[in-house]
């Protein structure tokens, strides 16, 4: 595997976390404007993406495989918890 293949492999590994994190932040800012008004969209998006990426890495380490459904379920839950905690403050 050369450097370009490694880059695309890692980018495709992280893309679900970034996509779900950005979508979660956008939907939360749309539906819960008042409770999340003081938090920027970008802040919510990168924090949800970081939580999702941590879950993907943990799922890879625990199961030994990438792309397990339980890992993706954990990704969705982790990305949902971040804005929920921000709105609860």
Give me 22's structure tokens: 């950005």
HSE-CB for 25 with a 13 A CA cutoff = 19
Q: Does 2 map to a domain?
A: no
The domain in which residue 58 lies consists of 41-89
Q: Is residue 47 part of a domain?
A: yes
29 inside domain: no
pTM above 0.85, yes or no: yes
Asked, for residue 82, whether it belongs to a domain, the answer is yes
Domain count, the chain: 1
Distance in angstroms (rounded) separating the CA atoms of residues 29 and 70: 27
Residue 15 lies inside a defined structural domain of this protein: no
Tens of each residue's pLDDT in the chain, 89 residues: 899 999 999 999 999 999 999 999 999 999 988 888 899 999 999 999 999 999 999 999 999 998 899 999 999 999 999 999 988 87
């Amino acid at each position: 595997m050369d450097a370009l293949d490694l880059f695309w492999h890692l980018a495709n590994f992280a893309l679900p976390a970034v996509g779900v994190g950005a979508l979660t932040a956008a939907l939360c800012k749309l539906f819960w404007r008042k409770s999340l008004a003081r938090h920027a969209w970008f802040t919510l998006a990168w924090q949800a993406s970081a939580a999702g990426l941590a879950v993907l890495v943990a799922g890879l380490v625990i199961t030994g495989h990438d792309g397990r459904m339980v890992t993706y379920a954990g990704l969705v839950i982790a990305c949902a918890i971040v804005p929920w905690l921000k709105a609860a403050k």
